[in-house]
Chain A
Amino acid sequence: KAGVTQTPRYLIKTRGQQVTLSCSPISGHRSVSWYQQTPGQGLQFLFEYFSETQRNKGNFPGRFSGRQFSNSRSEMNVSTLELGDSALYLCASKGQPNTEAFFGQGTRLTVV
């Protein structure tokens, strides 16, 4: 079956702009989580969506938001981009508790 798909793969944005990233989970998976990966901070949890509801949120400013659609696809949005938002954004989906999370290839965001 198809894996987790993230689009776009690469993005270059200017400070102050906003950006929307997309994630399509594995078919049947209703949990979608987002992570930010930077060389200095490693992989940090942003938020998780399950059945269109955000059920957990990491320690990130309100500029980071997300949503999930009825088909479990998820989007995350970052407004008023800052240079420090440059990172690899990874999406992971999970089908059941006590199972592994499957990751997408990520979106590499560069803010200039």
Chain B
Amino acid sequence: EDKVVQSPLSLVVHEGDTVTLNCSYEVTNFRSLLWYKQEKKAPTFLFMLTSSGIEKKSGRLSSILDKKELSSILNITATQTGDSAIYLCAVDKTTDSWGKLQFGAGTQVVVTP
């Protein structure tokens, strides 16, 4: 059975701290891994990773995929209160129709002033 596991499930940090979120997956026919941020309702897209070892960056956020370890990390540096959200990891498979994503449980991040 395919699995997508995120850790930790929740964490609280102070503004300015660095946060590292983990996503591990056990899926057959892996195609890509995606990160989303969910603040209230609509998850918003952060990164899509298909190749191992290539870091993607956007401002203070970055992510990298390790296909050998079947995992990915999402880093947030110099955290701000606006980074408080649920961060979702999802996997896309080559054998599935391209509209289907399998999500992990998410990591709830709270950034305190």
A-B contact count (CB 8 A): 69
Total interface residues in chain B, CB < 8 Å: 24
Q: Are B43 and A33 in touch, CB under 8 angstroms?
A: no
**In the complex, A37→B13 CA distance in Å?**
25
The answer to whether the Cβ of A101 comes within 8 Å of any Cβ in the partner chain is: yes
B91 CB, nearest partner CB in chain A, Å: 11
Report the nearest B residue to A54, measured CB to CB.
B97
User: Within the complex, which residue of A98, A105, A108 is in contact with B50, where a contact is CB–CB below 8 Å?
Assistant: A98
The answer to whether the Cβ of A32 comes within 8 Å of any Cβ in the partner chain is: yes
Q: Which of A73-92 touch B at CB < 8 Å?
A: 88, 90, 92
Q: Are A42 and B98 in touch, CB under 8 angstroms?
A: no
Q: Main SS of the interface on chain B?
A: loop
Q: Are A102 and B98 in touch, CB under 8 angstroms?
A: no
Q: Which of B15-49 touch A at CB < 8 Å?
A: 31-32, 34, 36, 41-45, 48
**In the complex, A49→B106 CA distance in Å?**
25
A-B contact pairs, 10 of them (CB 8 A): A33-B101, A35-B103, A49-B99, A55-B99, A90-B42, A98-B31, A98-B98, A100-B34, A104-B42, A105-B41
> 8 additional contacts, CB 8 Å, given A45-B101, A96-B98, A100-B34?
A33-B99, A49-B99, A55-B97, A92-B99, A98-B31, A102-B45, A103-B36, A105-B41
